[in-house]
Amino acid sequence: MDNKLIVTAAPHITSADSTQKIMGRVCLALCPTLIASVIIFGFNALILTAVTVAACVFFEWAYCKLMKREIPVADLSAVVTGLLLAFNMPAALPWWMAVVGAFIAIVIIKQLFGGLGYNFANPAIVGRIALAVGFGAKMSAFPLPETVDALASATPLAVSGNLGAGEYVTLLLGNHGGVLGETCAITILIGGCYLIATKVISPVIPVTYLATVAVLSVCFGMDPVVQLLSGGLMLGAFFMATDYVTSPTTDKGKLVAGIFLGVVTMLIRRFGNMNEGVSFAILLMNLITPYIEVNTRQDKLGIAKKKKEGAK
């Protein structure tokens, strides 16, 4: 027969969205923060980010090549991991350490578990934690205000004087000590809003996470604004905790995850003696996600009601 028709199962059309487009939007959303980090911490920030991203993409390519798997580099997920990992490093971190972090994130956490979609925890978070534990001194050697000043003098942008923790504007703009992508709250907010507007992420996790932190900091007698704007909270809430693979899928589940994140973060910040509150909160949330997931399924049409009636 010359006129052969294709026969497949329905549906015959799919949405224009793809994994690649979603990851591309996340990269785009991270760009303002990248620019801010370069302005705040100098050109070194850009080089460190480039090295980390390149390392992540290389490891993804090399591992799949070695294992004779299909090369998934085009889906851009390794680029996202690279960006997020770099944003979790202080600007002065030696490059080889960044490469080690990339190896842990991509090969150990992501690829060994089966690649995109099969990792149990956020690769960038585990990369950061591993670096923080392994190279504690270097990872916590945040460029302090004087370092910022030193860097600032090397950049054309003048960084205004004294950076007290209570100065909200400073926290918003991010010209204070910290890792690359954490300090400038305003660019993270812009990126986060872009992702919410393009429906890449749901606002449920960031909003409940931040709200829980705000409420608990008032309860603990801490300044909620400082708590919200400092540390890795903003970056974590918008970009790391919302990672599809390692967070719950339903709104109910996201609500639970957001509250859990807020509680763990504030407990670590209030009672712990380390500054990795957000990282560990997200890692713990990643680990309990499967349990949240099975207990927060949606109501099914015509079935939820029946159960309720049966319970009477």
Partner 1 sequence: MPLPSRIVLSMGQHIGAPAAPAVAKGDQVFVGTVVGKAGGFVSSDIHSGVSGTVDGITTITAPNGAVQTAVVIIPDGKQTVDPAITPPAVTDLKSFQDAVRASGLVGLGGAGFPTAVKLSPKNLDEIDVLLINGAECEPYITSDNRCFLEDTQYILDGIQAVMKYLEIPKCIIGIEGNKPEAIAKMRSVASAGIEVKELPCRYPQGAEKVLIENCTGREVPFPGLPSDVGVVVMNVTSVAFVGKYLATGMPLTTKRLTVDGDVIKEPKNVEVVIGTPVQELMDFCGGFTEEPGKVLYGGPMMGNCIADLSQPILKNNNAVLAFSKKMAQQPKATNCIHCGRCTNACPLGLSAKEIVQAYNDGNVELLIELNADLCMSCGTCSFVCPAKRPLAPSIALAKIMMKNGGKK
* Residue selected from 32, 72, 203, 224 as contacting partner 1 according to rule CB under 8 A: 72
- Residue 73 contacts by C-beta under 8 Å, 6 or more apart in sequence? 57, 60, 61, 64
> What's the CA gap between 100 and 126, in Å, rounded?
12
Tokens 């099969």 belong to which residue? 118
H helices present in the chain, as ranges: 19-41, 43-66, 77-87, 95-103, 123-134, 136-139, 145-154, 168-173, 185-197, 204-219, 224-229, 233-235, 251-271, 277-295, 304-311
Quick check: 273 binds partner 1 (CB under 8 A)?
no
**Token representation of residue 278:** 């957000």
* Residue selected from 147, 155, 249, 275 as contacting partner 1 according to rule CB under 8 A: 249
Tokens 């604004």 belong to which residue? 225
Q: Which is it for the CA torsion 150, 154, 155, 156, positive or negative?
A: positive
Tell me how far CA of residue 48 lies from CA of 17, 108, 185, 195, 300, in angstroms.
31, 21, 20, 25, 48
Quick check: 1 binds partner 1 (CB under 8 A)?
yes
Q: How far is the CB of 207 from partner 1 (least distance, A)?
A: 17
Quick check: 305 binds partner 1 (CB under 8 A)?
yes
Q: How far is the CB of 271 from partner 1 (least distance, A)?
A: 32
Quick check: 302 binds partner 1 (CB under 8 A)?
yes
Quick check: 276 binds partner 1 (CB under 8 A)?
no
> What's the CA gap between 107 and 63, in Å, rounded?
7
* Residue selected from 161, 303, 311, 312 as contacting partner 1 according to rule CB under 8 A: 303
- Residues numbered 135-194 forming contacts with partner 1, rule: CB under 8 A: none
Q: How far is the CB of 216 from partner 1 (least distance, A)?
A: 27
- Residue 251 contacts by C-beta under 8 Å, 6 or more apart in sequence? 202, 204
Stretch of 7-15, 39-47, 169-177, 219-227 contacting partner 1, by CB under 8 A: 7-15
Of 146 and 299, which has the nearer Cβ to partner 1?
299
* Residue selected from 68, 301, 311, 312 as contacting partner 1 according to rule CB under 8 A: 301
- 309 φ, ψ (degrees, to nearest 5): -65, -40
Quick check: 311 binds partner 1 (CB under 8 A)?
no
Dihedral of CA atoms 260, 265, 267, 272 in degrees, nearest 10, equals: 140
Tokens 């487009």 belong to which residue? 21
* Residue selected from 101, 115, 177, 192 as contacting partner 1 according to rule CB under 8 A: 115
* Residue selected from 133, 140, 197, 244 as contacting partner 1 according to rule CB under 8 A: 244
Quick check: 21 binds partner 1 (CB under 8 A)?
yes
* Residue selected from 155, 198, 250, 275 as contacting partner 1 according to rule CB under 8 A: 250
Of 2 and 273, which has the nearer Cβ to partner 1?
2
> What's the CA gap between 53 and 99, in Å, rounded?
9
**Token representation of residue 95:** 């490059």
Quick check: 69 binds partner 1 (CB under 8 A)?
no
Quick check: 299 binds partner 1 (CB under 8 A)?
yes
Of 96 and 244, which has the nearer Cβ to partner 1?
244
Of 14 and 273, which has the nearer Cβ to partner 1?
14
Q: Which residues bind partner 1 (CB under 8 A)?
A: 1, 3, 5-15, 17-19, 21-22, 72, 75, 77, 115-118, 244-246, 248-251, 297-306
